[in-house]
Copies of this chain bind each other. A is one copy, B any other.
Amino acid sequence: MKAIKDSVHGHVRLGDVAAELVDTPAFQRLRHIKQLSTVRLVYPSANHTRFEHSLGVYHLAGRAVEGLGVDDDTAAHVRAAAMLHDVGHGPYGHQTEGIIRRATGRDHDDVRWLLTDADREVCQVLERNGLDPERVAALIDGEGALGPLVSGELDVDRMDYLVRDAHHTGVPYGTVDTGRLVTELRLVGGDASAEPQSDADLVLDEGNVATAESLLVARSLMNAVVYRHHVSRVAGAMLERACERYLDRTDTDVEAFRRMADHDLLVELRDRVPALGERIERRDLYKRAVWAELDEVPAGTVDAGRAEERAAEREVADIVGIDRDAVVVDIPSRPALKESGSAVVVDGVPQRLEDASELVAGLRAAERRRWTLGVYCPAEHVDAVAAAARDVLGLRAASRPSA
């Protein structure tokens, strides 16, 4: 059995299928997609990739299925799904997901088309080993009783990335007891062996309210200091804008765009959209002109789509009299706390974590408070853009300057 050294899990041992999957171009490409895209501009050690993360998720999935008592065939499908759960990502991961979704209607975890059609090599490896690509794709999409293990509220994806992101940023908040989590998962209320039609539910066994809470807490603290750090958000918004401009200016097909890796995109943006691309490469970023909290922003603005964001960008740029690429409006989706619906057994009965834990309401409120709308532009236009943007977006009170 081939073993790969991993900075988080020590050694990841690959079974035969996994060893073949690793060598496919689709999987090797993940070496060139960084896990945290623009976060590395704040935390310079955060250069880890979706390649090693995918191996970590595979490793945890393997340990989880051991304890769930599923049959070998099901276990093999789950492990393959864990390996492949990120092959649908475009360059810079989540940062290009919106663009691809708007163009294709597909999210990164909708990989059915990919596994069954577009990527013959992965498909062949699966079929040669007696696995059904369709079933693997369904698991990646979160379907069936075991889909939630790959993509759900208690999934091994999150268990890996919280620990890995903390390890590589050097931030101590993401430490989750994965060793305990993967062995405390249970399938209840259904016939696990009837997968994939089983109606069993994936839950954490008795005595794990604090274990589940630690996952939420880690996510919440990581959100605050890592995932939504304003420098990473500024760079990410500039990147998304540059990608849109790139697709406008060139005749690049969206599927070709999706198959790029980070290095391809960085070179293309620098060469074809230099006003933004060179800044991203050199970390010469726009500054915050507006940084507004939820209660300053009208509901209509909070729920604006990308088209409305772009219209606002244009309007602000025109008012100030600067280039349209010099204004970036960044409106995050409404605050949510997906993990709160994960199930934990308490006194013998599975309960939603938000019902079993008093912490959830507090974390939800904290998420809401941390939500912020940003408008970014070159340093020299900050004042003018702030005034115009507050007006255009209908913000209520003066946005306070933030650290």
Q: Is A48 in contact with B51, judged by CB distance below 8 angstroms?
A: no
Contacting residue for A6 out of B52, B170, B213, B369, CB 8 A: B170
Q: How far is the CB of A10 from chain B (nearest CB, A)?
A: 5
Q: What 0/1 pattern do residues 38 to 72 of A give for CB contact below 8 A with B?
A: 00110111011101100100000000000000000
Name the interface residues of A253-285: CB closer than 8 Å to any CB of B. 261-264, 266-267, 281-284
Q: Is B358 in contact with A360, judged by CB distance below 8 angstroms?
A: no
**Oligomeric state, in number of copies?**
4
When distances are taken between beta carbons in the complex, the residues of chain B under 8 Å from A221 are 210, 213-214, 217
Q: Is A282 in contact with B28, judged by CB distance below 8 angstroms?
A: yes
Q: Is A5 in contact with B169, judged by CB distance below 8 angstroms?
A: yes
Q: Which of A176-184, A325-333, A386-394 contacts B (4 or more CB under 8 A)?
A: A176-184
Q: CB of A130 within 8 A of chain B?
A: no
When distances are taken between beta carbons in the complex, the residues of chain B under 8 Å from A209 are 224
Q: How far is the CB of A234 from chain B (nearest CB, A)?
A: 15
* Cα(A167)–Cα(B82), bound, Å: 25
- A interface secondary structure, majority: helix
When distances are taken between beta carbons in the complex, the residues of chain B under 8 Å from A281 are 28, 32, 261
* Cα(A25)–Cα(B284), bound, Å: 9
Nearest residue in B to A44 (C-beta to C-beta)? B52
When distances are taken between beta carbons in the complex, the residues of chain B under 8 Å from A217 are 217, 221
Q: CB of A151 within 8 A of chain B?
A: no
Q: Is A358 in contact with B347, judged by CB distance below 8 angstroms?
A: no
Q: How far is the CB of A203 from chain B (nearest CB, A)?
A: 15
Q: Is A225 in contact with B210, judged by CB distance below 8 angstroms?
A: yes
Q: CB of A19 within 8 A of chain B?
A: no
Q: CB of A171 within 8 A of chain B?
A: yes
When distances are taken between beta carbons in the complex, the residues of chain B under 8 Å from A264 are 267
Q: What 0/1 pattern do residues 12 to 35 of A give for CB contact below 8 A with B?
A: 000000000001010011011010
Nearest residue in B to A262 (C-beta to C-beta)? B263
Q: Is B357 in contact with A43, judged by CB distance below 8 angstroms?
A: no
Q: Is A403 in contact with B206, judged by CB distance below 8 angstroms?
A: yes
Q: Is A173 in contact with B214, judged by CB distance below 8 angstroms?
A: yes
Nearest residue in B to A209 (C-beta to C-beta)? B224
| Interchain Cβ contacts under 8 Å between A and B, 24 examples | A5-B171, A6-B170, A7-B169, A10-B170, A11-B180, A11-B183, A25-B282, A29-B282, A34-B47, A45-B52, A172-B177, A172-B214, A173-B177, A173-B210, A210-B224, A213-B221, A213-B366, A214-B221, A261-B281, A267-B267, A358-B365, A358-B366, A359-B365, A361-B362
